[in-house]
Amino acid sequence: GENVEQHPSTLSVQEGDSAVIKCTYSDSASNYFPWYKQELGKRPQLIIDIRSNVGEKKDQRIAVTLNKTAKHFSLHITETQPEDSAVYFCAALSWAGTALIFGKGTTLSVSS
Amino acid sequence: ETGVTQTPRHLVMGMTNKKSLKCEQHLGHNAMYWYKQSAKKPLELMFVYSLEERVENNSVPSRFSPECPNSSHLFLHLHTLQPEDSALYLCASSQDGSREEKLFFGSGTQLSVL
């Protein structure tokens, strides 16, 4: 089945800096890669996703890139703000295509 | 509010107890999921139901028993749990369980097994 590795596990940046989180996946048949944000004590929520027919997608200060050959994808956050502080999870579809398999999460801390 | 409600929010139980977690979605979705969230571990998929039929159970121990009586309700029945089962249990729903779908999560049930 699918296996998703996520790095780093923790990331601390200064407000205004950029943050990058990287994930690798094992199932070459996977073609959908979402990112979820979970603030402290709250539920995970989708922030951006990418499909295998594109290499990059942007939404304001966040962007995701995908390299299908290398089987890795990354989340980029520019001009970070304190409210970006949260745990970020990457995910990929399982081999059966029925549900998402998540990475271990990255705890992002943005200090002002 | 995302439309997915879980009860109870917190649960403490002994290893010999039997309890149930409840999830209800008001979004008209046809697929529902149970995920387990432990410290330092990924969100682990436990069960998937699509149109009230189980499609994946991911080798979960039999002390966890799911039930999906209709597309709006999902239960997780617990019995003879172990302390390592202590975790946050998240329910989620999606439109119809097909690929590339956004998951809507509930707030979770924080379970402690003594």
Q: Encode pLDDT of A67-101 as tens digits.
A: 999 999 999 999 999 999 999 999 998 656 667 88
Contact A100 B103 (CB under 8 A): yes
**Residue A18 CA, distance from chain mean position:** 14
Residue B9: exposure state from Cβ atoms within 10 A (0-12, 13-18, ≥19): exposed
C-alpha angle B75/B76/B78, rounded to 5°? 140
Taking the Cβ of residue B27 and every Cβ of chain A, the question of whether any pair is shorter than 8 Å is answered with no
| pLDDT at res. A97 | 64
Closest in A44, A101, A105 to B45, CB measured = A101
| pLDDT at res. A41 | 87
| pLDDT at res. B16 | 87
Taking the Cβ of residue A49 and every Cβ of chain B, the question of whether any pair is shorter than 8 Å is answered with yes
Residue B70, beta-bridge partner list: B73
Taking the Cβ of residue B42 and every Cβ of chain A, the question of whether any pair is shorter than 8 Å is answered with yes
Taking the Cβ of residue A10 and every Cβ of chain B, the question of whether any pair is shorter than 8 Å is answered with no
A40 neighbourhood in chain B, CB within 8 Å: none
HSE-CB at B97 with a 13 A cutoff on CA atoms is: 17
Judge contact between A4 and A25, C-beta under 8 A: yes
A&B contacts, CB < 8 Å: 64
Q: Which residue has the tokens 């705890």?
A: A107
Distance CA B106, CA B7 (A): 9
**Residue B114 CA, distance from chain mean position:** 20
Q: Which of A23, A30, A43 to mutate to test the interface with B (most CBs of B within 10 A)?
A: A43
Closest in A36, A49, A98 to B48, CB measured = A98
> Could you read off the pLDDT tens digit of each residue along chain B, which spans 114 residues?
559 999 999 999 998 889 999 999 999 999 999 999 998 788 898 998 988 888 777 789 999 999 999 999 999 999 999 999 999 999 999 987 665 678 999 999 999 999
| pLDDT at res. B39 | 84
| pLDDT at res. B112 | 95
Query: Tens digits of per-residue pLDDT, A34-69?
Result: 999 999 989 999 999 998 888 999 999 999 999 999
Burial B60-85 (b: 16+ CB within 10 A, else e): beeebebebeebbebbbebeebeeeb
Distance CA B41, CA B90 (A): 14
Contact B108 A101 (CB under 8 A): no
